[in-house]
Chain A
Amino acid sequence: MSDAGSNAPVLTNDGVPLKVSLQRALRREKLRAFLLIAPLLIFILITFVLPIADMLFRSVENGIVADTIPQTIKSLSDWDPSTGELPGEPTYAALHADLSVAVKSKTHTRLGSRLNYEISGASSLFRKTGRRIKKMDEGNYKEQFLKADKKWGDIAYWRVIRQFGARYTAGYFLNAVDAENTGDGVQFRPEDEQIYLFLFGRTMFLSVSITVSCLLLGYPIAFLLANIKVRTSNLLMILVLLPFWTSLLVRTSAWKVLLQQQGVINDFLVWTGLISDAGRLVMINNQTGTIIAMTHILLPFMILPLFSVMKTISPSYVRAAKSMGANDWTAFWRIYFPQSIPGIGAGAILVFILSIGFYITPELVGGTSGIFISNRIAYHISSSLNWGLAAALGVMLLAMVMVLFYVYDKIVGIDNVKLG
């Protein structure tokens, strides 16, 4: 192989250059590896990524107005709402033509529900007009529409139709930050309708509180578990995992029994004479209740990563520190604690992200001051059917978590997180 140093490529037995042959083999390996994970990848793509993307897309999608009343939208484009005058006869004629088609496929009431999110009364306006549309005579549509419902003479409805005629809208996002576009610029809603920013703030505050209390309660337990005999620690571990085998609803309801004013804890305190019968503590249907119940539910998610990281910390470091004269506290704080930080990081992230999206526990024990933004998202998904707004709120929540994740990465470093 002395001539290997020359420029001639190394060949394999069948005359193909070694480099090409190697690449080919590697590519085959890679393809095989990819094929192995392909089912999982496709599964995640179809059941997870696509539905979420589709849901998030709804936060800006607004095709229904332009699809249902296209001619009206076109005719409204050269109408200026700031003049304070109603649109002219051609617009009403276009509306009549559009609605005649829409009534046949029953899409006019859908449009009414959609516009009702922006202006109260649109729902009945379209339902009522839909019933009249067939009976209308040709010509003089403006008068006939005004007779069908006097709201057609209210410029506010026309302004909303014109404003939401576009295929994509920022309206849901504005709504999600308590703002609206009233026609003369974006501004905040009146104070008695502002709710979402406040709820985002409270979601953050409560999630941080829950994470901190999980850490305070979980750290000593994890420490204990990691530093006793395996036989005992296994037994205790079962106790930590036990709540997982009970339904979330049962655990939440159990807290109701314990914490309510006629509940077990208050009864006990009254019996011992610590509080009077009239001065029973209010511990549920408020933030306290939410924090207590959710801390209990999320505690295992803090303990498990902490435990598995602490298991790997060699006791010889602490012994070495002590042999050099450190007292117990110094040895723990300077030697043991820094080594357990990856576990704290993992546990804190897990608990925080889980609690930020929690919904059923706050609904049951949160009263009015302990509910999260996710409770409003659930309301808009299942009750008001305003999926656009729910999607916008969801996007904001997602964005918020991403930003926090980024900040966390900058401060703690995402590499400094270990699950074991």
Chain B
Amino acid sequence: MDSVTKRYPDGTVAVDRLSLEIPDRSITVLVGPSGCGKTTTLRMINRMVEPTEGTILLDGADLQQQPVTTLRRSMGYVIQNAGLFQHRTILDNIATVPRMTGWGKHKSRARAAELMERVGLDASLGKRYPYQLSGGQQQRVGVARALAADPPVLLMDEPFSAVDPVVRKGLQDELLRIQDELGKTIVFVTHDIDEAIKLGTMVAVMRTGGRLAQFAPPAELLSDPADAFVEDFLGADRGIRRLSFFPSAALELTRGPVVRADATAEQLAAADGAAHLLVTDADDRPLGWAEPGDLGAGRPADRRLLPYGRPFVPGTDSLRAALDCAVLSPTGWAVAVDSDGRVTGVVSQQTIGEAIRTAHGTAAGTGGSAPAEDAADVTKVAP
């Protein structure tokens, strides 16, 4: 997009000299407060709104050169509330674009059935009508309909805003999974900064008046907001949220305070000195924390155990998840498990704090990393 402006006849400027390079095969999120022109920007890409000034190029070709229906058929379009055709069955809704482009009825339906599976809808829903589906299911149909003719570009206008948070999270994960499989060029509009940070490869923050405030990958947005507006829009806990981009794989785990429920006295003695002991079952699955004093008398199996909070999976989860575990844990230690739920070790808030400092140092490019001896000095992250 090169210096694109949309001015309405009454003089209102919806988008003001916006220049953006949207990368191929990745998700670009346009985010901003209402009235910032993000939807107008999106709608200029499929020419639902014509720009007043400036040009939009797709793979080097001016959008104005193509017939508008051909252009739109090469771009999937998903809107809030899905906008399904209530008189058509789910299968026929999804088959809309293939049918328009002259595919046979049979082929279109087969393609629609294939897409239902791709977006995680049960095939039995195909013969139903939109009113018989939940909001989340309808939105999946909307995504399937947009993908039906396999367009290289997908435009999504606040597609998940109207569903409840739990369903929204499911839809977001599903979109990321589909994107992994299909690698479309997606432009996604939202007013929800968390959604933008979760989904975006690149995030364009727009401000009222249709101006671009910052265009950056989400991690950079969180670490270096361009100005006070972006910083304010990101919200109060951007430091914590930024931890989502740091992997937890490098965390140094210790098995020192981990004991089995049927541990012998020698094993208990080996774990001596720890403030708390994590008790696991015979399969290494965590049971809870115990005070060492309680264990002195013998087997810890019947002891009163403290809850261990929610464990994290090193490598899969981020530092944010690890820190969250440590903060939730009554002992201040986070429990690390493998993908099968077996305990691989525990890690203290201090160690996580150190890892955060290291990660910040690396991210800032200073290369500074806290030496291991300084671990005790690392400011404790208070619960």
- Are A and B a genuine interacting pair, yes or no? no
Listed in ascending order, the chain A residues whose CB lies under 8 Å from chain B are none
